Amino acid sequence: MPTEQISNINSQTTSLNILVFGAHPDDCDIKAGGIAALYVQQGHRVQFVSVTNGDAGHHEMGGGSLAQRRYREAQAAAEVVGIEYALLDNHDGELMPTLENRYKIIRTIREFQPDLIMTHRPNDYHPDHRYTSTLVQDAAYMVTVPNICALTPHLEKNPVIAYLSDGFMKPYPFTPDVVVGIDAVVEQKIDMLHCHVSQFYEWLPYNSGSLDTVPAGASERRAWLAERLRNRFRDVAEKHRDLLIARYGEEVGAHIKYAEAFEGCEYGSALTPENIPTLFPFFK
């Protein structure tokens, strides 16, 4: 790409809009909470969107009261790093890739005008995750078509889409194009997840049979959660050490402890070696 064209891209994206779609409140946080904090520190705008309201994710409560609780938890998490957090009012566990839901995603994308969209991959254990991915993929390109959702102004360019990381191997494993070190913001990311009390201290431990290991006090809980989360974030860095070194150089990349990883999706505009430094401005 000519130098002049690269300069134009950089000047046009001095302030980035980053839009992250997860299926449930806390999905975006666990996969992209660190990078969200980094973007905000550089003056960029970040919005997390939960495509369901989370009203089924608990063993003792549900429905409207749980949805409202999870909305409050999401807003508390957003305040930790200074992002926006929206919940779409679809039932947890019942999400389907319908035309109506596709239109919701198209309008959300158009209204936010993102430079970069992130979401789940389409192969995942949870149907809500799979269908969130399908809906975002199906909205790609359509966001540029004026006669689709005609009352919401269309985008002139299809945004770049990237997948959030996962460990699923079939039909093909997650293959990152970008890995970002989050050491400087890992405590903020843990603080975000600490806000999702209904999930990390109640539902998920119950579902995994470990509820009796959760401490009672808030500070003890936070320390308990931090130990488990740091291991997960450390695993990402170790697994993709080669990409960290390639992006940051040997001196820095070899010593990054915690990371998040992202893979380009072919449905949006291409994620390329030329636009990665602009969309992920963390490697200088």
pLDDT at position 12 is: 44
pLDDT at position 14 is: 81
Instruction: Summarize pLDDT for 243-275 with one digit per residue, the tens.
Output: 999 999 999 999 999 999 999 999 999 999 999
pLDDT at position 13 is: 47
Confidence bin at 79 (pLDDT 50/70/90) = very high
Closest CA to 105 of 97, 94, 83: 97
User: For residue 126, what is the DSSP state?
Assistant: S
Report the mean per-residue pLDDT for the chain. 95
pLDDT at position 275 is: 97
pLDDT at position 1 is: 35
Helix (H) or strand (E) holding 50: strand 45-50
Q: Is residue 6 scored above 80 in pLDDT?
A: no
Gyration radius of the chain over CA positions: 19
Query: How far apart (Å, rounded) are the C-alpha atoms in residues 276 and 284?
Result: 12
Architecture of domain 3-279: 3-Layer(aba) Sandwich (3.40)
Instruction: Summarize pLDDT for 90-135 with one digit per residue, the tens.
Output: 999 999 999 999 999 999 999 999 999 999 999 999 999 999 999 9
Instruction: Summarize pLDDT for 36-69 with one digit per residue, the tens.
Output: 999 999 999 999 999 999 999 999 999 999 999 9
Instruction: Summarize pLDDT for 160-181 with one digit per residue, the tens.
Output: 999 999 999 999 999 999 999 9
Instruction: Summarize pLDDT for 189-214 with one digit per residue, the tens.
Output: 999 999 999 999 999 999 999 999 99
Backbone torsions φ then ψ of 132, nearest 5 degrees: -60, -45
pLDDT at position 4 is: 35
pTM of the model: 0.94
